[in-house]
Structure 1
């Protein structure tokens, strides 16, 4: 396994967990593996769901980051895309693990993002999904550092416990792999800039509110 690069599908709601997703992507890259799924988290139609399934099928590991939101609802099933991704990964016997933000972590995030941190429209669906997730392999996290630590530890556990294919074969083009990693790092840097801009806007809004 030492030369194999695992593809790790990272799933979560999006606008409320931008920084946490960044931490996960960075941790996967730093562990020498390949993150996937960053570009898929927008509400869409059935064709998008099929695309998501293909990405999950091509991945070696599925990771869920669960905060306080349930996510966009897929109209046919009545479930969130995040839940559908999670259930599909389980149905395909892909190794799954989840990190769940603690209450204190969520409370801290409310000081930055306000009530959008918590599910407003479908709290009962969120509670049901969270209970289901907690019946499987989970780790509670208090900050982004905990997310990274959980990823490092869990990937190594999965390498030891599962016969995972990974991406590299004997005739794999290593130059192509370097290009892929460079592109992934560039995507991470772009996400980081976006997050910093959003944080700046939120801070300005909070400052204006405090002046009123």
Structure 2
């Protein structure tokens, strides 16, 4: 497969416009892709990002030098030298073409200020530390550039650009399909793991919120004339007790009776049968749980005569209930053998002896 190489051409602009055009022409005639950055302003830092990206994508770098150092950056280095240094740092093969000291050259295109002359000499010395070609005129540069590029293609082979139609090999197509399927599977697994992590963190946050919120508890005992205040309870405790009942639909009235017994710890014979816990209190709990996405009003059909308000757990509510139940089941494990009943310890010892 024949590759087309992208070749970055760098130089000062006004003084080397004609030589630069000839180099670009030589690259095009060889069937490759020249990249010239003369259309970008040297003082525009945003354009420097574009220049770097073009160098990153290039296979070879061509530097043309004459007798001008060029405009400088805020770091007091010319953009031409900055491009050269960047290309070297990125490992792009660099071809240097330096004007022969004996060549005739217009004085208008020659630096005279001492600062620029010194900077140019240092830059030229840096470039000449590697093999370079010296040119005397445009035609000389044209020929030497073509030859140097051909040698570089062989000495420093690069990836280049290849037409998509050249990738018609069935084995490559099958490999791409395999890699694409593998990539899709990995993405799916990563997404699932991320989702599981997010859901786990979400449940932990809900549990902390439930534990941090405490509610006053009031009960109307049998034969009493007013509400009696009892020990307060956290939303965590209330949810832990009521959630199991809400796996199937449960009415506000039934929640009132169930919470009087299970949350407040009062025997059914000691509280009145209708609304032993205030209905507005139970509804406030449901509002809190609904805000956290744990419960939702039941959509189950019921007789017209049934005016009760029913609630049930959402998918998130079921997940939080599972987390609560898991905490309860694992609690004896965290307490250690000394807290376990004697018969359980004996059973564990027998199991260990059997599996040893």
TM range (shorter): 0.7 to 0.9
- Structure 1 stretches of 4+ with a deviation exceeding 2 A read 38-43, 114-121, 169-172
Distance in 2, Cα, partners of 1:119 & 1:41: 26
2:140 to 146, 150, 153: 146
Residue 167, structure 1, aligned to residue 161, structure 2: yes
Secondary structure of 1:10's aligned partner: strand
| Corresponding residue number in structure 2 for 1:188 | none
> May I ask how many residue pairs the two structures share in their alignment?
166
1:100 to 71, 81, 98: 98
CA shift for structure 1 position 116:
3.0
Q: Relative CO higher for 1 or 2, CA cutoff 8 Å, sep ≥ 6?
A: 1
Larger radius of gyration: 2
Residue 115, structure 1, aligned to residue 108, structure 2: yes
| Corresponding residue number in structure 2 for 1:125 | 119
Distance in 2, Cα, partners of 1:138 & 1:119: 24
Q: CA RMSD in A?
A: 1.9
For residues 15-47 of structure 1, the C-alpha deviation after alignment (integer angstroms, 9 at most, x for no partner) is 111111011111111111111024345422221
Q: What's the TM-score, normalizing by structure 1?
A: 0.72
Conservation of the 8 A alpha-carbon contact between 1:13 and 1:41: no
| Corresponding residue number in structure 1 for 2:89 | 91
Conservation of the 8 A alpha-carbon contact between 1:96 and 1:137: no
Distance in 2, Cα, partners of 1:145 & 1:38: 23
Q: What's the TM-score, normalizing by structure 2?
A: 0.44
For residues 156-187 of structure 1, the C-alpha deviation after alignment (integer angstroms, 9 at most, x for no partner) is 11211223111114437xxxxxxxxxxxxxxx
Distance in 2, Cα, partners of 1:36 & 1:27: 13
For residues 93-152 of structure 1, the C-alpha deviation after alignment (integer angstroms, 9 at most, x for no partner) is 0000110111233xx331xxx333335351111111110011112100011112111221
Q: Give the gaps of 5 or more residues in structure 1.
A: 173-212
Distance in 1, Cα, partners of 2:163 & 2:29: 21
